[in-house]
C-alpha cells in the first residue's frame, strides 16, 4: 500500500467521491462502489483496506442519526454477533493474496446483489423466524464481507424484508455496515494485512468520500433517487460480470 502511485491515489480520490455521492443520493453503496471500482485496478485486499475509515465514519453517522438505536440493538444483536464471527473467518480468504479468486468472488457478489435488487420482489420475514434466521444471515454476510469487502449480501435484502419503518431501516443498515466495517478491520489486522500506514491512506480518502456524500445529498433534491438507483445498479451489474469473467478473457 505504501507504493501507491500518484495516479492510483487520484483514482482512489475520484472513486471515493463517486462512492460518497451514491451514498448521499441512495443512503447506501459506499463500500460497494469503492470495492467495485478499486477492485478492478488494485487487489481487493488493498481496496478493502482503503475503505475502512470512510466506511466507518459515514456508516456511524448514518447509525447515530436514527431514532431507534437501542431497540434495533436488542432486536438485531444475534445478527451483529454472527457478522463479527463470519467476517473474522472470511478475512483470512481476503488476506490470502489470491487476487484472481478474490476478484472473481467480488465480481460475483456485486453482480448478484445488483441483479437481485433490480428484479426481485420485496420479501417478508415473519417475526417468528428471526431467532434462527438472523444469526444465519449474519454469518453469511460476515463471510461475504470478510472475503470480498462488500457488506450487502444477504444483509440488505434481509433487513428490507423485516418490515421496518424507513427511518429504522436506514439506521439498521447503518448498524449492519458499521459492525461489518469494524469486524473487517479487526479481521485484516489479525491476519497481519492492515498496517498503520494503511490507516493513514484510508483517513486521506475520507475527505473525498464526505465531499461526495454532501454532493449526493444536494443532488438528491434535483434528480429521482429511484432512477439514479437503477442506473447505478445496472452499472454495478455490468462491472460485476466483467470482474467475474476476467480470468476467462
What is the per-residue pLDDT across 131-185, written as a single tens digit (0 to 9) for each?
999 999 999 999 988 888 888 888 988 998 898 887 788 889 889 999 999 999 9
- Residue 1: what pLDDT? 47
Tell me how far the alpha carbon of residue 158 is from its chain's centroid: 15
Give Cα separations from 61 to 3, 25, 134, 210 (angstroms). 31, 15, 24, 11
- Residue 134: what pLDDT? 95
- Residue 97: what pLDDT? 67
Give Cα separations from 131 to 21, 77, 117 (angstroms). 36, 10, 25
* DSSP per position, 18-78: HHHHHHHHHS--HHHHHHHHHTTTS-HHHHHHHHHHHHHHHHHHHHHTSS-HHHHHHHHHH
- Residue 99: what pLDDT? 66
pTM over 0.75: yes
For residues 203, 197, 48, 219, the Cα torsion angle rounded to the nearest 10 degrees is: 20
- Residue 59: what pLDDT? 85
Whole-number Å distance between alpha carbons of 24 and 210? 9
Whole-number Å distance between alpha carbons of 202 and 247? 28
Residue of 190, 90, 173, 188 whose CA lies nearest to 139: 90
Instruction: Return the domain boundaries, the chain.
Output: 6-248
Cβ count near 184 (within 10 Å): 31
- pLDDT lower than 70: segments of the chain: 1-5, 66, 97-99, 195-197, 225, 247-249
- Residue 95: what pLDDT? 82
Cell matching residue 242? 466483467
Cell matching residue 15? 472513486
Amino acid at each position: 500500500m505504501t507504493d501507491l502511485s500518484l495516479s492510483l491515489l487520484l483514482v482512489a480520490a475520484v472513486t471515493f467521491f463517486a462512492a460518497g455521492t451514491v451514498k448521499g443520493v441512495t443512503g447506501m453503496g459506499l463500500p460497494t462502489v469503492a470495492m467495485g471500482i478499486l477492485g478492478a485496478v488494485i487487489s481487493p485486499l488493498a481496496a478493502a483496506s482503503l475503505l475502512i475509515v470512510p466506511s466507518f465514519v459515514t456508516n456511524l453517522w448514518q447509525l447515530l442519526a436514527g431514532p431507534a438505536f437501542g431497540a434495533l440493538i436488542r432486536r438485531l444483536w444475534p445478527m451483529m454477533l454472527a457478522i463479527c464471527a463470519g467476517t473474522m473467518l472470511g478475512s483470512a480468504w481476503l488476506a490470502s493474496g489470491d487476487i484472481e479468486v478474490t476478484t472473481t468472488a467480488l465480481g460475483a457478489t456485486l453482480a448478484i446483489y445488483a441483479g437481485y435488487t433490480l428484479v426481485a420482489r420485496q420479501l417478508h420475514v415473519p417475526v417468528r423466524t428471526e431467532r434462527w434466521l438472523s444469526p444465519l444471515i449474519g454469518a453469511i454476510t460476515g463471510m461475504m464481507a470478510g472475503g470480498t469487502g462488500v457488506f450487502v449480501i444477504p444483509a440488505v435484502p434481509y433487513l428490507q424484508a423485516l418490515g421496518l419503518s424507513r427511518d429504522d431501516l436506514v439506521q439498521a443498515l447503518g448498524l449492519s455496515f458499521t459492525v461489518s466495517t469494524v469486524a473487517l478491520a479487526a479481521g485484516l489486522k489479525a491476519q497481519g494485512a492492515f498496517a498503520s500506514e494503511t490507516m493513514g491512506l484510508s483517513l486521506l480518502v475520507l475527505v473525498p468520500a464526505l465531499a461526495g456524500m454532501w454532493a449526493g445529498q444536494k443532488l438528491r433534491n434535483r434528480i429521482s433517487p429511484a432512477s439514479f438507483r437503477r442506473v447505478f445498479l445496472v452499472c454495478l451489474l455490468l462491472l460485476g460480470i466483467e470482474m467475474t469473467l476476467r480470468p476467462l478473457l
